[in-house]
Amino acid sequence: MGAMRPRAPGGAVFRWALMLAAAAFGAGCTWQSPRTVAQNYLTALEQRHYEQGYLMLTEDDRKACPLDQFLTEVPLAPDVTRRWFRPVFKATSFEIGKPRGQGLRRIVPLKVKAPDLARLERIVNATVGPDGDPAPAARQALAHGEFPALSYDDDIVLVKEHHRWRVRADFPARERAADLRRQALDSYYGGSYGQAVDYYKAAIAALDQSDATGAQGLKFLYGRELHELEAMVAQHAVAVAYGDELKLSDVGMRMSAAGHPAIFGRIANHGDRPVDSVRMKVTFYEGSGPDRRGVFVEQHVPIATPLQFSDFALRAMPLMPGETRDFGFELKAPIDTQRSADPYVTVSDVVFTQPDLMPPAEAQARASAGGASPAATAAAGEGAD
């Protein structure tokens, strides 16, 4: 889970309450079957009884992960911030299968059906348009079951400790995989696509080595992002050539709202492919004629549609065919270079939108018909420099 931090009581009162809960929980679960324990764990999450869910973990997991940390990375919970946790979890269904295994270990299989948050974010953004607030529309879609869904297999892994079945989480492996995925996303937004693929594969390998609750679901979700990225890499040469279909206009240099030198302009997609990301190169030239030479180069990504769910913090709207959009970014060149040289802006890299992430046709039509977006503020925020 992302950053869900329910307020917990503090000090001695909380510790005493936790001890009482542990005693009550322990007294009632010596006889429970693996399937019942798995159901109780899911019910605890659904009813927001996080302390009870925490007490169901193995001793090693509770030693490795204090309660406040558990509240930010609950196994089987959605990887979202606190404000989206409840509506997303309520929209997620779990079908518990027949436990398998023997001895002191059991695996309880799950069939999971969950909102496809990355695609929902794009659909909602396209539907409300650049001026609309996506959050109310997303909440309504989740509440009414009007969202694209993902179906996948997952597991609850149980081990027996002191005659009781406990949920195994393996937090070190989860954290290692999550960190590798963060590095993969950073590499992707930085334009290092091959490196991003390697990080994703390493994250999935870390989960492969972990026999823990929720690992199979994370492998599925990370693998989906890896699939999208590998398709982008395979199409990269064609996508770069597609840059000729992206026309820049009204490009000029002026001060941003923060008082820094910036480039503003408009970009139009004259081709037939939706575009997730556009990287622009700014080359500063000095001199004229045969003496003209480039003295400084910098890169910017004024259009960057997030690959993952961004909590509606970023504008998840691909640049659609026929669409014209404003862009803006602050310059990085030394002030002396900006004063003495002329900037020239070109499209240097393009990433196509993958079919699995495309909004439906009606949302695409709305985005294409919407014309130019409001004037961009040059500061960071439009993309990921």
Question: Residue 341's domain is classified under what CATH number?
Answer: 2.60.40
Q: Report the 10 Å Cβ neighbour count for 206.
A: 23
Q: What is the pLDDT of residue 333?
A: 95
Domain closes at, from 135, 169, 203: 169
Are 37 and 165 found together in one domain?
yes
> Domain for residue 10, yes or no?
yes
Q: What is the pLDDT of residue 7?
A: 38
Residues whose CB falls within 8 Å of the CB of residue 1, separated by 6 or more in sequence, listed in order: 71, 72, 73, 74, 77, 78, 79, 80, 85
The whole-angstrom separation of Cα 369 and Cα 289 is 42
Query: For residues 268-298, b (16+ Cβ closer than 10 Å) or e, as one string?
Result: bbebebbbbbbbbebbbeeeeeeeeeeebeb
Three-state DSSP at 1 gives: coil
Query: For residues 176-199, b (16+ Cβ closer than 10 Å) or e, as one string?
Result: bbbebbebbbebbbebebeebbeb
pLDDT higher than 60, residue 37: yes
Are 123 and 193 found together in one domain?
no
Q: What is the pLDDT of residues 6-15, one digit of tens each?
A: 334 444 444 4
Q: Report the 10 Å Cβ neighbour count for 127.
A: 18
Return the amino acid letter for 250: D
Q: What is the pLDDT of residue 378?
A: 29
pTM of the model: 0.81
Q: Report the 10 Å Cβ neighbour count for 259.
A: 8
Q: What is the pLDDT of residues 79-99, one digit of tens each?
A: 888 889 899 999 999 999 999
Residues whose CB falls within 8 Å of the CB of residue 202, separated by 6 or more in sequence, listed in order: 180
Residues whose CB falls within 8 Å of the CB of residue 264, separated by 6 or more in sequence, listed in order: 250, 251, 252, 253, 254, 326, 327, 328, 375, 376, 378
Looking at every residue in the chain, the average pLDDT score rounds to 86
* Lowest mean per-residue pLDDT among 346-350, 352-356, 358-362: 358-362
Which has more confidence, 290 or 181? 181
Q: What is the pLDDT of residue 104?
A: 94
pLDDT higher than 80, residue 203: yes
Sign of CA pseudo-dihedral 19, 23, 25, 30: positive
Are 51 and 191 found together in one domain?
no
Domain closes at, from 234, 264, 288: 234
What one-character DSSP code corresponds to residue 77? S
Are 246 and 221 found together in one domain?
no
Range of the domain at 226: 171-234
Rg (CA), the chain: 25
Are 282 and 195 found together in one domain?
no
The whole-angstrom separation of Cα 179 and Cα 115 is 23
> Domain for residue 379, yes or no?
no
Q: What is the pLDDT of residue 275?
A: 95
Q: What is the pLDDT of residues 159-175, one digit of tens each?
A: 999 999 999 999 999 99
Are 15 and 80 found together in one domain?
yes
Which has more confidence, 239 or 374? 239
> Domain for residue 384, yes or no?
no
Are 229 and 258 found together in one domain?
no
* Lowest mean per-residue pLDDT among 71-75, 229-233, 264-268: 71-75
Are 159 and 188 found together in one domain?
no
Are 122 and 136 found together in one domain?
yes
What average pLDDT does this structure show over 243-259?
Answer: 95
Domain closes at, from 234, 259, 275: 234
pLDDT higher than 90, residue 100: yes
- CATH number, domain with residue 142: 3.10.450.100
Are 272 and 299 found together in one domain?
yes
- CATH number, domain with residue 213: 1.20.58
Task: Concatenate the DSSP letters of all residues of 145-204 into one string.
Answer: T-S-EEEEEEEEEEEEETTEEEE---HHHHHHHHHHHHHHHHHHHTT-HHHHHHHHHHHH
The whole-angstrom separation of Cα 79 and Cα 3 is 8
> Domain for residue 309, yes or no?
yes
Q: Domain count of the chain?
A: 3
Q: What is the pLDDT of residue 365?
A: 55
Residue 343 CA: distances (Å) to CA of 12, 112, 297, 383 = 63, 52, 9, 20
> Domain for residue 191, yes or no?
yes
Residue 220 CA: distances (Å) to CA of 15, 105, 131, 203 = 37, 23, 34, 11
Are 153 and 249 found together in one domain?
no
Return the amino acid letter for 131: D
Are 358 and 264 found together in one domain?
yes
Q: What is the pLDDT of residue 79?
A: 87
> Domain for residue 378, yes or no?
no
> Domain for residue 374, yes or no?
no
80 CA to centre of own chain? 9
| Backbone torsions φ then ψ of 29, nearest 5 degrees | -125, 5
> Domain for residue 385, yes or no?
no
- pLDDT band at 362, cuts 50/70/90? low
Of 288, 291, 285, 353, the residue nearest 320 (C-alpha)? 353
